[in-house]
Structure 1
């Protein structure tokens, strides 16, 4: 046990690991408390409630899970229909994910942090000079401030392995709003990266009525399977240890959810059941082959 714990301590880069379950990681729960846990992921079909893909990860955030979940879904159901729409919460809002959706021509709906807070009914501190009030000109790679002045790229640096760019205003000294906008600095500075255009496009999409309506469906799509598993099936925590065992446990729980959905569909409509049997068959085949 000690050897395994030492190995995981080195691999994870964390300051501490569990002796009883070295592969678990400290994660923040909904009560903002940190506890040793795993991060379960699911992708569900809006119409049927069937779980199309699932995974268990050691990552404490969802930042890097969108791409593997979509790829697993494509594998499980033999491709995505042309009309497919993908919704995910703010935890998946980052440049690489947004670019991936665009490159795959997937119609995605993911709010940024400000939009997510507003959608949850929280008050958001707003300013007429916050970064989102500056227009980004992708073709010329510069920002335009609310007063119509241009901020051009003047420098770049690396932060946590990622390339960052800095943009400065040229005429801030003569601007009547300089103090409100730039504070004590002589010039307003904006920091960005290689994904600014993708972020702007998604944010604009989420501001539209269509974007808001599509995102509302997410709670019905994903929150219901999670709620069914936790409340109806009384499965609120993993009972095994080790990533592989926890993944198997999660597979079984998701399969049980799918069978429950099928039973509900069978009770009301045989036709409805026939529409989802292929989804479940592919999912079950993948679970059994792990």
Structure 2
């Protein structure tokens, strides 16, 4: 969850903080604060800080779609942790519009042995080059580029090739794809887990526990704005709020001391 003050006041940009709560059995067990604009880059340092300070490693990590990335998938696998991360396209991929969109790689057949995709017009898209990308965190990913063998006079071109500001007329353009094979592999493996009975239960628990913790803090405790500035000061405020939240939950949990080996963020 990102908690922040009004970013603009009197024409001046004010500081904003991305606050992360880790929840276990309805208790807030770890807190972090940072200036990251998105949640994607917060997962790895959050988990590392837990291990560094507590020597505790949760074998299963349950998170919302905002945390999905190839880097996070790779880190969790190398760290011997199972990801239960909701894919960023999970909701939209279930719609009829998405399933009928011929532009999307998910709606194309793929020949894994010969490494090519087949478009709506039964034409093959072959790999023609590989490029390397480096993220802001320094993570390097390998992108495979595919190009259609023949797009001329294709009746599906207007629906297949994404419209852009390209100066090349649509009739002269060719269908191209850029694919991270590793990311697609990890996403498919993760998807199988989250739609399994165990995955459905974990995601339901996450929505109740993680979102419930933030609802308790923001709605019931009326904590909607930080009283201090600076990363360390804000973190101290969050720790105090987390302690207050946990105390308020303690009387309901005093006779239920079963803590599962599941970490929710």
Determine if the TM-score, normalized by the shorter chain, exceeds 0.5. Answer: yes
- Given the superposition, is the C-alpha separation of residues 35 and 128 from structure 1 closer, same or farther in structure 2, using an over 3 Å criterion? farther
Counting only pairs closer than 5 Å after superposition, residues 81-230 of structure 1 correspond to structure 2 as: 84-117=59-92, 125-126=97-98, 127-135=101-109, 142-145=116-119, 149-157=123-131, 164-173=143-152, 177-182=156-161, 184=170, 186-193=173-180, 195-203=183-191, 205-206=193-194, 211-230=199-218
Q: Which has the higher helix share?
A: 1
SS at match of 2:40: coil
- Aligned residue pairs total 236
User: In 2, are the aligned partners of 1:156 and 1:166 still within 8 Å (CA)?
Assistant: yes
- Given the superposition, is the C-alpha separation of residues 188 and 201 from structure 1 closer, same or farther in structure 2, using an over 3 Å criterion? farther
* Counterpart for residue 41 of structure 1: 20
Distance across 2 between alignment mates of 1:136 and 1:71: 37
Residue 232 (structure 2) pairs with residue 244 (structure 1): yes
The CA deviation at 1:198 is: 2.1
User: In 2, are the aligned partners of 1:61 and 1:91 still within 8 Å (CA)?
Assistant: yes
User: In 1, are the aligned partners of 2:102 and 2:159 still within 8 Å (CA)?
Assistant: no
Distance across 2 between alignment mates of 1:237 and 1:125: 40
User: In 1, are the aligned partners of 2:5 and 2:225 still within 8 Å (CA)?
Assistant: no
User: In 2, are the aligned partners of 1:149 and 1:169 still within 8 Å (CA)?
Assistant: yes
User: In 1, are the aligned partners of 2:102 and 2:108 still within 8 Å (CA)?
Assistant: no
- Given the superposition, is the C-alpha separation of residues 197 and 172 from structure 1 closer, same or farther in structure 2, using an over 3 Å criterion? farther
The CA deviation at 1:87 is: 1.8
Q: Which has the higher strand share?
A: 2
| Deviation larger for 177-186 or 66-75 | 177-186
Cα RMSD for the two superposed structures: 3.5
Distance across 2 between alignment mates of 1:108 and 1:70: 12
The CA deviation at 1:207 is: 5.3
Distance across 2 between alignment mates of 1:140 and 1:205: 28
The CA deviation at 1:188 is: 1.7
Distance across 1 between alignment mates of 2:66 and 2:60: 18
The CA deviation at 1:41 is: 0.3
Unaligned runs of 5+ in 2: 163-169, 260-265
| Deviation larger for 225-234 or 155-164 | 155-164
Superposed CA deviations along residues 32-77 of structure 1, whole A, max 9, x for unmatched, are: xx964111001111xx211121100111111111112222334555
Distance across 2 between alignment mates of 1:204 and 1:128: 24
TM-score (norm 1): 0.66
SS at match of 2:33: strand
Counting only pairs closer than 5 Å after superposition, residues 50-65 of structure 1 correspond to structure 2 as: 50-65=27-42
